[in-house]
Structure 1
Amino acid sequence: MIDKASQTTRDAIAAGFPLLIGGRETPGHAGRTMASTDPATGEVIAEFALGDAEDVGEAVAAAKAAFHGPWSRLSNMQRADLLRSLSRKIAENAVLLAELEVLDNGMPRMLADQIVGNCVHLFEYYAGWAERIEGTTTEAPPHVLAQGEALTYTLREPVGVVGLIVPWNVPLSMACLKLAPALAAGCTTVLKPAEETPLSAVVLGRLIKEAGFPDGVVNVVNGLGAEAGAALVAHPDLSKIAFTGSTEVGKMIARECTDSLKKVSLELGGKSPVVVFPDVDLAKAIPGVAMATFFLQGQNCMAGTRIFVHRDIYEPLLAGLAEFTANMQMGHGLEAGTMLGPLVSAKQQQRVMEYVEDGKSCGARLIVGGEAWQGPGNFVRPTIFADVDPSMRIVREEIFGPVMAVQPFDTDDLDEIAAMANDSPYGLSGSVWTRDLSNAHRMVSRIRSGHVSINCHGAVASNIPFGGYKQSGWGREFGREGMDLYLETKAVTVAL
């Protein structure tokens, strides 16, 4: 399918995917490479350089030199100008970045185009925040004032050198989501993309250099999590780790950072509830609930995969979901009309199918799907299970695939409904579907998640803080809160 990509994309693939350290491209100390494959066909797209602990050390040293050197001498306004310059570079290279996401990750082209557009806006948005970093003034301590006049104020300063570890499900978006606020705050960075999907990160690194950022401000080290990722987390010169990925790995990173007390922000797993009341507009709820689960083939942390439906509309909603799902076009992301692409790897396909088979064996009612697509690629048909039990693994565990678990409720007691929705170790996202907005707001206040939508799902944007309760993570990304992750507050008192 590479031949269906633009000439620009084919040229970028031919140029290769090295490490980017201190403003230069390098094959890495060990000279190792790894293949990136198209998950829809199994075709090898490109070889990319594989970094190790030595490369990570060099990247951190470059970031540290830049932090104390040219980057620290730029004003907030100058950093904002660079972020806007990068935003324009991304817009100019939108086709290239979108096609790389499709080929490397498998997502549909229409989604990749939307993601690139979001990244353009993200750097514009945080350019604005770079211009608005400000402290406060407050009253000086009494014992200082007792000696005469005094002034107390605060400064907001960058955390320092930060390590950014991003996942494979939306590679470009996750890289930009961490880079934009970190750079706006004045930090320097080492970015470790997922080994499954590193291509867009390398191209983004080149665009950052073209945009005029000083060498070493952004370094890209492709590599295995157990090697490059672990070395990054353990490096003593890092002030912070920002990680998006599984809860299991997030816990490991948090434990590793306790010895050095690095700052840590974690955006982790989810098993989000979708609550559908009997007065809902089914014409809107059916596609909305379906896409809450099947968006990005279910490979997203905020996927609404636990569906709670009032008994009065249980069977009509199931029938509508089955019909909508059956009409979703599966195929290669570069093919027009594709709504569902492949899973990112054969390993992920096998993992998802193990959950599907477990759901069948546990007695859940299979409504639609339940099988891998026969043929090349890592496809799994969108799957809906009904009459599930809360103890089933397909209800309890994050599958990260196109698998929906639906269960009915009979009560009108919001506390009882909330108890079902909150019966999870996760608390990342969720949604409520009803015409009764009073009930909707009451329900939202009872759901223990960091992000809950009404009559829509996954309503994220640059200005809306996003993060989780419970085991879904620490901290908030997007919005002003996203900047706070990369800033320190220093208090200063002056006896005048």
Structure 2
Amino acid sequence: MNTSTLSPADALTRKPYQGKLLIDGAWSEAADGSTLDRKSPAHDKLVAVYAQAGAADAERAIAAARKAFDKGPWPRMKGAERARILRTVAEGILSRKHELALMETLENGKPMAQSLAEIEGAADLWHYAATLARNLHGDSYNTLGENTLGVVLREPIGVVSIITPWNFPFLIVSQKLPFALAAGCTTVVKPAEVTSGTTVMLGEILQAAGMPSGVVNILVGRGSVVGEVMVTHADVDMLSFTGSTAIGKQAVAKSAQTLKKVSMELGGKNPQIIFPDCDWDAAVDAAVYGIYFNAGQCCNSGSRILVHESIAERFTVAVVERSKRVKVGDPLTQGVQVGAITTDKQLETILSHVEGARRDGATVALGGARISTTGMYVEPTVVTGVTRDMAIAKEEVFGPVLAVLTFKDLDEAVDLANSTLYGLSAAVWSQDFSTCLSAARRIRAGTVWVNTFLEGHAELPFGGYHESGIGRELGRFATEDYTETKTLHMHLGGRTDWYLPR
């Protein structure tokens, strides 16, 4: 179905998408017959109905992945064969990009243009992972003496549980799944229950590409039920999770029962540091883009701007004025930049953070309220007079709410940047390269942008310090995260018994 020319009215009158569970290569209903409805957060209309997995379905999916790893062809294929299938998946994604983008927008609430860009970016990740499938390698040592040869192998770790969030459903599953597959792993994937559509559609694309049965199993269900099994099951060798830091901590604790390997991409409270000699227009634009992209529902959101005190007032006024021009509304309407908040729970969280900032003595210079219309929308919001001890300066809001703090010099700016429990990303804005590099090297974050913000490439690793996570995704070592290292220590020729005199 080509949805590129559908009007908003047509998109909302289409029959709700019907999604099933993908287990061992077959689509099925839930064992107990449960279903899950999803309404569009932007329009409050039913857009999808899914089979809702329970614990029994999760057990069956894990068993299928275990069998596919232990006895199936996928881990034993040549890297070139796995790469060919991954490339076919990438092309399948592009052939259905408009359909996938519409599903993403209807379930998530983000603007169509953004959804389409993310689907295209995700396809690029599958293409990149295909190159790694052919280049994964170990090491050898011919320097251990004439009777010894050492070979270090990289073997797929086994069955991987992949749990993804609702803010970037298709992009984030594509940051994980193709790299696990490139390494030769088998998987059980659970998307967020409120944004499952594009991941279920991906299952269709995988099957069409020739993915063997049981290699990718997809479950729509609640984390408290399905996720619990995926995190604790003894037949799962690794957990790859993206979500909030609080839930991530719980997942790590529960996974420790079986000492699984874990990869965690969690929260952030990311600063953009604005020095007086910045490129003014670019920095103002980045401050606005950084907080309102995806309605601020982004772990990499630039939710704090740290502005030098000499330009703070003028810069804040410029940000407020530009924020007033940000177009919020129906994500199916062309030109909209900020769509709906994805869940009612998140809407409540955002508004409570704004109210908390007021109580703490900060000033809401712009916005701060829900927009009165059908659907869940929040005004672009700028909070000034923020100090480092306020909750709004330290806690992840995950919404279109920008906190403005000031600093006197580089040392204070770096200290402020490092003053939260997180360390996912940051940005530095200055025309002075020494200033940028000095700050970037001292900021404790996994990514530091210099005179830009929220750019990403498949070749560059992504992940955080501190409570922003464990491990890295993307980059040329991405497949290695889904492997175990094995040493082959080989002795050549005869060997003398240790207890004989020499």
Q: 1:436 aligns with which of 432, 454, 457?
A: 432
Match of residue 22 from structure 1: 24
Match of residue 60 from structure 1: 62
Give the 5 Å matches for 1:391-402: 391-402=389-400
Select between 71-80 and 421-430 the one with higher mean Cα deviation.
71-80
Deviations 1:465-494 (A, max 9, x none): 010101100000011232121011111122
Match of residue 100 from structure 2: 97
Give the 5 Å matches for 1:384-423: 384-410=382-408, 412=409, 414-423=410-419
- CA drift of 1:129 comes to 0.6
- Hey, what's the Cα distance between the residues in 2 that align with 1:495 and 1:3? 68
Gap regions ≥5 residues in structure 1: none
Q: Sort the Cα spacing of 1:8 and 1:419 in 2 relative to 1 into closer, same or farther, 3 A.
A: closer
Q: 2:298 aligns with which of 292, 297, 300?
A: 300
Match of residue 471 from structure 1: 467
Secondary structure at 1:51 match in 2:
coil
Q: 2:490 aligns with which of 482, 487, 494?
A: 494
- Hey, what's the Cα distance between the residues in 2 that align with 1:226 and 1:461? 33
- CA drift of 1:327 comes to 0.6
Match of residue 355 from structure 1: 353
- CA drift of 1:293 comes to 1.3
Per the normalisation by structure 2, the TM-score is 0.94
- Maintained 8 Å contact 1:415/1:446: no
- Maintained 8 Å contact 2:12/2:45: no
Give the 5 Å matches for 1:233-272: 233-272=231-270
- Hey, what's the Cα distance between the residues in 2 that align with 1:46 and 1:325? 33
- Maintained 8 Å contact 2:187/2:215: yes
Match of residue 122 from structure 1: 125
- Please tell me the residue identity of whatever aligns with 2:419: D
- Hey, what's the Cα distance between the residues in 2 that align with 1:3 and 1:437? 48
Match of residue 371 from structure 1: 369
Match of residue 207 from structure 2: 209
Give the 5 Å matches for 1:40-79: 40-68=42-70, 69-79=72-82
Deviations 1:69-123 (A, max 9, x none): 1213311110000000000000100001111110010111111111011111101
- CA drift of 1:7 comes to 8.3
- Please tell me the residue identity of whatever aligns with 2:55: A
Match of residue 222 from structure 1: 220
- CA drift of 1:459 comes to 2.1
Deviations 1:217-274 (A, max 9, x none): 1000010010000111011100000000011111111111212110000000100111
- Please tell me the residue identity of whatever aligns with 1:453: W
- CA drift of 1:314 comes to 0.9
- Maintained 8 Å contact 2:157/2:237: yes
Match of residue 192 from structure 2: 194
Secondary structure at 1:131 match in 2:
helix
- Maintained 8 Å contact 1:310/1:408: yes
- Maintained 8 Å contact 2:428/2:450: yes
- Hey, what's the Cα distance between the residues in 2 that align with 1:46 and 1:86? 23
- Hey, what's the Cα distance between the residues in 2 that align with 1:490 and 1:376? 57
Gap regions ≥5 residues in structure 2: 493-502
Q: 2:91 aligns with which of 76, 88, 92?
A: 88
Using the aligned pairs only, state the percent identity: 38
- Hey, what's the Cα distance between the residues in 1 that align with 2:17 and 2:298? 30
Calculate the aligned-residue CA RMSD, in Å.
Answer: 1.8
- Maintained 8 Å contact 2:307/2:407: yes
- Maintained 8 Å contact 1:9/1:96: no
Query: How many residue pairs are counted as aligned between the two chains?
Result: 488
